[in-house]
Structures are given as C-alpha cells and as structure tokens.
Amino acid sequence: MVQENKELINDGYETVIGLETHVELSTATKMFCGCALSFGAEPNSCTCPVCLGHPGTLPVINEKAILYAIKIALALNCTVNKYTIFHRKNYFYPDMPKNYQISQYDLPIGSNGYLDVDMGDYTRRVGITRVHLEEDTGKLIHTGSTGRISESASSIVDFNRAGTPLVEIVTEPDIRSAAEAKEYLVALRNLILYLDVSDCSMEEGSLRCDANVSVRPAGSESMGTKTEIKNLNSFRFMQRGLEYEVSRQAGIVSSGGKVIQQTRHYDNVTDTTKPLRTKEEAHDYRYFPEPDLVPIHLDKEQAGKLKEQIPELPGQKSARYISDFGLSLYDAKFLTGDRQYALFFEECMKLYKNAKAVANWLMGDFSALLNKESLNLSESKINAAKLVSMLELIDSGKISSKIAKSVFEEMFYKGTDPAEIIAGSGLEQISDEGELELIIDEVIKSNPGPVAQLKDGKEKAIGFLVGQVMAKTKGKANPRLVNEIILRKIK
Amino acid sequence: MELPLNFYPAHKLNKMLRQKQVSASEIVDAVICAIDKAEARMHAYLRVESKEMAQAAAGFDSKSDALAKNGSISDFCAIPIAIKDNICTKGITTTCASKILSNYIPVYDATVIKRLKAAGYILSGKANMDEFAMGSSNENSYFGPVKNPWDLERVPGGSSGGPAASVAAGTAICSLGSDTGGSIRQPASLCGVVGLKPTYGLVSRYGLIAFASSLDQIGPFTRDVEDSARLLNVICGWDENDSTSIGSAEAGSQDYTKYLGCSIKGLKIGVPKELMVKEVDGEVRQKVNEALALAESAGAIVEEISLPSLEYALSVYYIIAPSEASSNLSRFDGVRYGYRNRDAATLRQMYKKSRAQGFGPEVKRRIMIGTYSLSAGYYDAYYEKAQRVRTLIINDFNNAFKKYDVLISPTSPSTAFRIGEKAGDPLKMYMSDICTIPVNLAGIPAISIPAGLSSEGLPVGLQIIADTLREDNIFRMAHALEEAIGFDSHPMYLYK
Amino acid sequence: MSFISKDDVRHVAKLAELEFDDAETDKITSELDRILGHVAAISKVDTSNVAPTSHTLKISNVFRQDVKKESLSADEALSNAPEEQDGGFLVPKID
C-alpha cells in the first residue's frame, strides 16, 4: 500500500510550495481572433487589429480553446463550472495590447480538482484550485547588450504571441519539496500531452511554471511568508531553483530573520534566486466582468460528451498495464510516462503476447538509440510490426537475443525489415542440433580442463564452454541449445 | 422658398436618382455648396471629403444607366453621409476628436462602414464630436466646438454634435452617430432632426471606438423617420466580429419600413413621471404634451406611470460608464498608435505624459472616476452596487412594457443652451442626459423626433422608448407623430 | 463629508497612468468629490434581492470556429507605430 501525503520535515522545517502553470494551447488560431499561432515568425506578422488592441476592436471566443480547457479541467478531476465568464485584468505594460488582459476571475472553467503525483514510496495528492483560460501577452526584447531589462535603454515589442490561448493551472499549496514540485510538473505535462491540447514544450515556452514558496516550523498550521519564483524554465532548473529558495528561506527563519515577500528570479548561471524588484508594488487589477463577451453556459450533456473524448490517462493506463499485461510498476510507469511509448507498446500488444519482452526493448535499446540520435519515438523508422517481427524471430530461435541487438540497430537506422536483415547478413542463429553438436564436440575435445570441472559439479565452467561455442560460431549459436547439448553430452 | 436638394431626405433623393430626375453630382454639389457656405461657422466636420465626394458622384453618374437597369440603386446609393469620428474608416484619419488619436489611421473599416460601402454610400466626411464621446454639448472636442446651426452661439448637443448639426444644416443628407447615455438623441433634439438609438446589440459595435462597452450603440441621424428606418435596415444585423451582436448568420434581414404609415389606434403610451422632472423647461414640457394630445386624438391611450428606480439612473450611469471607459481607454498609451510624448526617458513617464497631454479634462475626470469605482475597496460599493441598481431599472422598464407599448418623454430637459453655459460645471452638464440615460442602462431602443420650435426658435425633441427589439413600435409611433406634428423647419438663414 | 482625498487622487492617477500637478490635483479632487458625492446616492437603494447586471442581452455561448483568418502584414501592423525598430514597436526604458 503506497503511503499517501507523507510528511516531509528537514531540520525542523516543512516546505510549502504552490505552483502556477501556464499552458499554451495548440489551437490553430488565437484566443479571441483568427490570427494563426506562430513561433519564430517575423515580428508582428501574425497580428490583426484585434490582437494589436486597435481602437474599436472586439474579442470573439475560440470555441476549441474552451473545449481544450474543459478537457484539462476534467482530466484534473475538477468540477467544471456550468456558468463561466471572462473578466478584465487591468494593468499597464508594453507587451499588453489593450493594457488589460482578458482572463477569468471568480467563475473559472474548472475548480477543486487534484493530481496524484507518484513519488515512489508515497503519493502526493496535489489539489488543483482552479483551471482557467486567458490570453497571452506579446514578447519583449530588451535592446541592451545583455538583453536584461534593467540594463536596456529601450525595448522592442513583438505582438505575434499576443492573444495566444493560455490555460492557467493553479495548485493548492500542497507540495512539500522541490522534488515533488518537479514530479508534479512532469506528471502534469504528461497528462496534458495525452490530451493532445498542447505541445507542452518548456524550451519553446508553451509550458511555463512559477512557484510560490514558503517554509514553516514542523507541526505549524499557519503559513510562512511566501516568495514568488520565476524563470524556472526546465525541470532541472525548477528543482534546483526551489531547493535553493527553500534552504535560503530556512536559513533566514532559523536565524531569527523574516522572509521578505517578493518576486524572485532564478538565475541558472549562479544557481540562485535573486529579487526581481527592490520595490514590490502590489497590483490592483480592478477585475470586472468583460462586457464585450457574453457568458458561457455548459450543460451536463456537453460536459459528458467531452468527458468521453478524454483518452485513457497515464494513471489509468499504468494500472491497466499492470493488471492486464503483468508489467511491473516500474515498467508501467516508464511506458506511460510518454504517450508515444504507451501507444507503441499497445500497438505491439495487438500483434504479440509477451509484454515484458516489448517493454524491455522499449526501455532498453530503443530508448537508448532515440536519445542518442535526439529523436522522438514517432520519428523513428521502427514501427510496431517490425519490432514484433524481430521478437518473433528471437522466439523461434532464428536469432539470438545478442544478435538481435545489431539487427535492431540496423532496423533503427535503415528501417529494413528484420527478416530481410537476417537473410542478407547470415546472422541467422544456428539452432540446428546436428550442426551444433559437431562444434560442441570440438570444443569439448579441446577443453578438457573445464569439462572436468563441469563434471565435478562446478556449474560455472559451462559459461566458458558456451562462450567457446559462441566464439566459434561468431555468436550465432543458439545459447540455450548449446547449454542443453553440452550438459547432455557431459552428464 | 423651395428647399435645395441638400435638405431632401434620402428616400426622396433615391426616388429622383432612380427616375433620373437628378444626378448624384447635383446632390453632391448641393451638399458641398452648403459646406462651403456654413461649415466654417459651424465646425460640424473634422474632415470633409469634397474631392472624393465629387469623384464618387461622377463615378455613380457614369454607371447610373446600367445600375438603374438592373435595379441596383439601393436606398443610400450615392447619398452623402457624415460619419462620427469615433467610427473607424480604413485609410481615413479617425480621431475621436482627441489629441491622443489626432494622427490615427485605421487599418480596417467598422462593420457599419462595410455595410454602407456595400450599399453604395458616399462619405461626406468625418464628423466632429465630444472627445471619446464624453459630453453633452460638443464643447469637449480637441479640435474646437460645434455650433448649433439654429443659433451659432449655442451648443448642438453631444457627444454626436457634428453628425446632428450636419444633417440639420444640410451639410450631409444623413449621418451616423453613437449613443451611450443619449449622445444621438440629445443632439438630435437640440438640432431638430431624427436620431435613433437602436436596441443594444442590433447594430454591430465592431469599429466603434469604445466608450462604455455595455452601453454604446451606433445609430442614424436623418431628416425624417422614414430615412431612419431605411438607414437602420442597412446597418443593423448580426456581425461575427461582435460577440454582443444579436441574431445569427441564418437570421434574415429586417425591413423596418413596413412599420411606417401604421395606425397608432389602441397603442398604449406610458409617460414616466420620473422623466418629466422639475428641471424640464416649461416650453419643452408644453410641446411634449401637445404631441401626446395629438397621439390621443389618433386613438392612442396616454397614461402617466412611475418607474421609481429611474431616480438613480444618472448615478448608476456615472459609475458604470466611466468604469468601462477607464478600462477601454487604457490602450491609449503611445506604444502602438496615437500620440506619444517624446520627452519621456522611461516607459512610465511616457505613459503618464502621453496620456496627460493627449486626453482632455472631461476624459481624464471620467477615467479617474471609473478607475476609482473599480479599485480595491471600492468595487463593491460603487461598480457592483451600480450594476445591482441597474437591474432594478431594467425591471422597472420590463414591468412598464408589460402594460405599455411605448414610453414617451422629453428627450432633453431644455432646448440648446449657450456655449460655455454649463461647461464649467460637470454635474450640471451631466443633468442634460437625465431623460436619455435610463434607456442605455436597459439596452432598449429609443428615438428622438422634432416636436416643434420653442418661442426662441430652438428645436424641441420628443423621445419615444420601446422594449428590447421593439423598433416596430418605435417606428409606428414616431412616424405617426411626425406626420401629426408636421415639423418642417430648417435653419435656412445660414444660406441667406 | 469628503468622498475622495488628494491622496486617493494621487493613488488613482497612478493606477490610471495619468499625472496632475499640484493645482490640477486640487481642482480634480474637488470635482471628483462633488461627482462621487452625487453618485453615492445609490448606497441608499435596497438591492438585497437583485443580482448585478453586466450584460443586458440574454445571449450566451457566442463562439467562433478555430479557423485561420488573414493577418495584417508586418508593415500594416506597424503603420501607426510612433517608434519602431527591427520590425517591432520601440518603447523607452521599462521602469
């Protein structure tokens, strides 16, 4: 029984972390206008009067963005609100076309959900406070040589990104360590990839995460002062940045000091967090319902239909792989940790019965080669049919599993069918007993010493003898058969 | 004295065009002639398109035979129409009568402009207005005030002072304005023309530079009620670019002219006593009562009613409208378009200086009130409270329309006041809209028609209000009363 | 009774990115105070049984399909820019 919500105390302090994640949806167009989403396009070439905030323009909601957001809310076990509206969040900044952002306030798309994060020996249930939709801002490039805002005399604004649909996912402050925060984000990202509603790329900025961090003495119910940490733009930086911040805060508090409430920026060069502004001014966003948009009413039927469209999610898949295919928890977690692997595995299982064999190849040679060549599984030349073909060749004894490794490699780089590879290269395993006996007899004759040891009961000696047979056959002998035959002959 | 062409209503000109009794060039010449004579004194326009008008008219005339043959001389084909300068016209400067947009050239056409273009209209020019549609006298224009054509020492009303004055003076055949708290109806009343605020959502707001999003509507200024119905036909209807527009792609087009010439016998008229406030001029009151008597003799039933929440309408409006405006006007920051202060060394200084220098005092007052009403600690007591009282006002109207077909009141408590008379006292100026404001809060339609001239020779306006999407009742009553009243005066002295 | 103080006015001006000198601050404080004093009348109204109205229309669920529409060219997008550089809108030092 996996422990739930374990208490983690370090030097008498408990870490309290809440995460705010922004996910850029992979719709074809922006949230409130028909401009295409772009990445890396020429500045201001994917804009229109609406997303440039020109006078007289009005927003119109992208229906697909709503559906995607609802799917995310459902997958996170949220209550999807039957009545939801947009609000204006008012503040001035040059990347804001209207100097207000159309967002959601007290009637978001979803609320009160959770995500269970597997930490190995325990599970952390992270509460999801809310899932809401909003529009993204433009991008700023600071013209100074360092590109830092504080060292630039001017900045340039590109509004291509302005108006991109963003789903904001806010957790309860339920996370208790930097490691948990990282695993939460990994799990969240995986979940959203399964839903196929976003690319979730931290490098491209379609997945962004900020953290609220505080510490408190063990056993305390009240919250310590929290800081907001920004620029955690990879899993690694997230974990390191939070580790630093937690120990920084614990250090302050344990020496009798007070943590200052502020926004801090993670600097990956120095591996520290630094305050973003010395003067923190609280924003008064003056939220009010967006008068240019009308409310959204979601009925039970629509929510039901959307729920049906949600594919089997990682947690369910993992459980199913364990129960139906007898895989271990580790194997199931690996395969479901990336939807492409899971789908590939399932394809194989339509054609073949040995789940463990498939899993081993996926987790081993296949993923090693993919990593080496920086490829996604979907980009590889190997499909389920080819892998299964190869496994069947191993099963029938036509090739040894050792030979299979080089067959696999050729399949990976050239995409050739395994049967063809074998036919062409004479790699076929020698399973012909007659043929093997001849070679074995030779080996037995030339190695009286090990043979004698084996007769004596030293089991390990057989390894040497088998090795000799393998060397003579250039690895093609069926090792199992060789083993059997040697034992038969000697005993 | 026979009326020159530029004082004819569009429906009459259209008939003459189709029957080749007049050419488009003759119409445009008459308008341009009037502009040459009167515009300098009136300042109803910020930009006159004389050359383009003449070209367009010549273009029409060269094709008119072909057009007449295949019956495509639609109602407003070749008709010179003035457009309030808060409606975006692609490639043509659109300023909202503000310094902050004095150099703004829209890259798109408002939906109503697209529809007018498809109908073959001729743009006479961009009409002057109160800055960002905030005002009741057109004294708040960065480019200088508009003078009332009936008396150049007086205001034409606002904020659509330019559109109203140009139609009254014959320097446009009709015009488009916008109405947020009375900005079409009140100037129509002060200038002796017909001004309609349609049901909220009936006319697309896409391309109307926003003042108060939940209250703004574009509407027509015309010589008579028939033109009003015709022009509404052209501009109304669902727009995919405006989420608050009523209807659908599938809904058919409307024809409001079928409600003209209908009897008003048996129609029930309610007269809200809260709109016949003590501030209403004696002569205004008298003209409205005379009109009600005419209605009765035509068989309508007139009764005084009470809508108690209307007492708070002005307060509700002067919280909600500035609040929405404060947010809508945030986009004017010198970054992407408009005026930018060049002395600023930093971004925040640029924002502050550009906005402080770019906006006029009334606009700044309203931004301040609105920002305050939405700010932390005040939202509940001001903005949210005002939206609740708004619900009471809507309920009062709903109840009234269960029993009555239309409500009638004065449009403005007074005739045109003198320039400078109220400009120094914002609250006094706000009171000019006391009869018109409640209508916008409820999103219902209302029209102002001329009810006669005061003893000083100044127009008096009568307001007819109907329920949501009941423009049919508006036109029924307005047309019948227009006929009964028989108002046919024009400020011809301008051309002597 | 005062409805708005000069400090309030300075704070609100900051939120609205406006600036007033001392004389202007005095003037606008008294103007706003008068206006707010007038509109404060609504506090007397009993609204315990009504919800706020943010939309007079009774429509909901207005959407557009996720279909691409033509964008402006970069030139058109920048056509009204007060200052531009490298294809973007140039702004002074962000403080």
Domain stops at, among A283, A305, A327: A305
Angstroms from B421 CA to nearest CA on chain C: 17
CATH number for position A443: 1.10.10.410
Same domain, A321 and A298: no
Range of the domain at A324: 312-422
Q: Write the DSSP symbol of residue A396.
A: T
Distance between CA atoms of B34 and B39, rounded to whole angstroms?
7
Same domain, A299 and A318: no
Please indicate, yes or no, if residue C28 is contained in any of the structural domains.
yes
Distance between CA atoms of B445 and B407, rounded to whole angstroms?
11
Q: Is the pLDDT of residue B1 over 90?
A: no
Same domain, A89 and A200: yes
Same domain, A301 and A323: no
Q: Is the pLDDT of residue B353 over 80?
A: yes
Same domain, A446 and A380: no
Within 8 A of C35 by CB-CB distance, chain B residues are 318, 365, 369, 426-427, 430
Domain count, chain C: 1
Cβ of A43 and C88 within 8 Å? yes
B457 in helix, strand or coil?
A: coil
Catalytic residue among B166, B183, B323, B373: B183
For chain B, the first-to-last Cα distance in angstroms comes to 11
Which of A57, A60, A100 lies nearest to residue B330, judging by beta carbons?
A100
Domain count, chain A: 3
Distances (CA, A) of B51 to B125, B211, B461: 11, 32, 35
Cβ of A56 and B214 within 8 Å? no
Q: Is the dihedral of CA B224, B225, B228, B233 positive or negative?
A: negative
Same domain, A197 and A150: yes
Q: Is the pLDDT of residue A1 over 70?
A: no
Q: Is the pLDDT of residue B133 over 90?
A: yes
pLDDT value, residue A3: 66
pLDDT tens digits for range A246-256:
999 999 998 98
pLDDT value, residue A39: 80
Same domain, A156 and A34: yes
pLDDT tens digits for range A10-57:
778 899 999 999 999 999 999 999 999 988 899 999 999 999 999 999
Angstroms from A279 CA to nearest CA on chain B: 15
Tell me whether residue B90 is one of the annotated catalytic residues. Answer: no
pLDDT tens digits for range B31-56:
999 999 999 999 999 999 999 999 99
Rg for chain A, CA atoms, rounded:
29
Cis preceding linkage at B159, omega within 30: yes
Q: Is the pLDDT of residue A231 over 60?
A: yes
Q: Decide: B196 and B474 in contact? Cβ < 8 Å.
A: yes
pLDDT > 70 in chain B, percent: 100
How do C88-92 and C84-85 pair as beta strands? antiparallel
Please indicate, yes or no, if residue A428 is contained in any of the structural domains.
no
Range of the domain at B469: 5-307+395-495
Q: φ, ψ for residue A50 (rounded to 5)?
A: -70, -55
Helix (H) or strand (E) run with residue A369 in it:
helix A367-372
Angle between helices A448-456 and A433-446 (to 10 degrees): 100
List, as ranges, residues 352-371 from B with C-beta within 8 Å of C.
352-353, 355-356, 359, 364-365, 367-369, 371
E-assigned strands of C1-95?
A: 63-64, 84-85, 88-92
For chain C, the first-to-last Cα distance in angstroms comes to 38
Q: Which two tokens stand for residue C94?
A: 């962000």
Within 8 A of A97 by CB-CB distance, chain B residues are 331, 336
Please indicate, yes or no, if residue B15 is contained in any of the structural domains.
yes
Same domain, A337 and A211: no
CATH number for position B84: 3.90.1300.10
pLDDT band at A420 (very low <50, low <70, confident <90, very high): confident
pLDDT tens digits for range C37-93:
999 999 999 999 999 998 898 899 999 999 999 999 999 999 999 999 999 999 999
Tell me whether residue B306 is one of the annotated catalytic residues. Answer: no
Please indicate, yes or no, if residue C83 is contained in any of the structural domains.
no
E-assigned strands of B180-252?
A: 194-197, 217-222
Same domain, A338 and A455: no
- What does the angle CA A231 – CA A234 – CA A235 come to, to the nearest 5 degrees? 120
pLDDT band at B93 (very low <50, low <70, confident <90, very high): very high
Q: Write the DSSP symbol of residue B146.
A: P
pLDDT tens digits for range A291-335:
999 999 998 888 888 889 899 999 899 999 999 999 999 999 999
Residue in chain B nearest C50 by alpha carbon: B388
Q: Is the pLDDT of residue B195 over 80?
A: yes
By the CB < 8 Å criterion, does B315 face chain C?
yes
Domain count, chain B: 1
List, as ranges, residues 183-212 from B with C-beta within 8 Å of A.
205-210, 212
The predicted model scores a pTM of 0.92
Q: What is the CB neighbour count within 10 angstroms for residue A455?
A: 11
Same domain, A141 and A282: yes
pLDDT tens digits for range A336-388:
999 999 999 999 999 999 999 999 999 999 999 999 998 989 889 999 999 99
Range of the domain at C26: 6-43
Distances (CA, A) of A132 to A49, A84, A99: 25, 10, 20
Q: Decide: A332 and A322 in contact? Cβ < 8 Å.
A: yes
- A412-415, long-range: CB within 8 Å, 24+ apart, which pairs? A412/A366, A412/A369, A412/A380, A412/A381, A412/A382, A413/A381, A414/A381, A415/A381, A415/A382, A415/A386
Q: Which residues pair with A115 in a beta bridge?
A: A126
pLDDT value, residue A427: 72
Residue in chain C nearest A28 by alpha carbon: C66
Establish, for the pair of chains A and C, how many residue pairs have beta carbons separated by less than 8 Å: 121
pLDDT band at A487 (very low <50, low <70, confident <90, very high): confident
Residue in chain C nearest B443 by alpha carbon: C56
ipTM of the complex: 0.97
Domain stops at, among A422, A453, A482: A422
Please indicate, yes or no, if residue B381 is contained in any of the structural domains.
no
Q: Which residues pair with A111 in a beta bridge?
A: A79, A130
Helix (H) or strand (E) run with residue B396 in it:
helix B385-403
Amino acid at A321: Y
Q: Is the pLDDT of residue A440 over 70?
A: yes
Tell me whether residue B159 is one of the annotated catalytic residues. Answer: yes
Same domain, A287 and A386: no
Within 8 A of A153 by CB-CB distance, chain C residues are 92-93
Where do we find the tokens 């209307």? B310
Please indicate, yes or no, if residue C94 is contained in any of the structural domains.
no
Angstroms from A129 CA to nearest CA on chain C: 25
Distance between CA atoms of B378 and C8, rounded to whole angstroms?
11
Distance between CA atoms of A56 and B205, rounded to whole angstroms?
7
Within 8 A of B336 by CB-CB distance, chain A residues are 52-54, 97, 159
Distance between CA atoms of B299 and B279, rounded to whole angstroms?
30
Which DSSP string corresponds to A400-413? -HHHHHHHHHHHHH
Amino acid at A201: S
Q: What is the mean pLDDT of chain A?
A: 91
- What does the angle CA B329 – CA B124 – CA B135 come to, to the nearest 5 degrees? 35
Q: Write the DSSP symbol of residue A61.
A: E
Distance between CA atoms of A61 and A56, rounded to whole angstroms?
17
Catalytic residue among B136, B137, B159, B409: B159
Distances (CA, A) of A31 to A66, B388, C60: 9, 30, 17
Q: Is the dihedral of CA B244, B247, B250, B253 positive or negative?
A: negative
pLDDT value, residue A281: 63
Same domain, A122 and A166: yes
Q: Which residues pair with A157 in a beta bridge?
A: A140, C89
Distance between CA atoms of A280 and B449, rounded to whole angstroms?
57
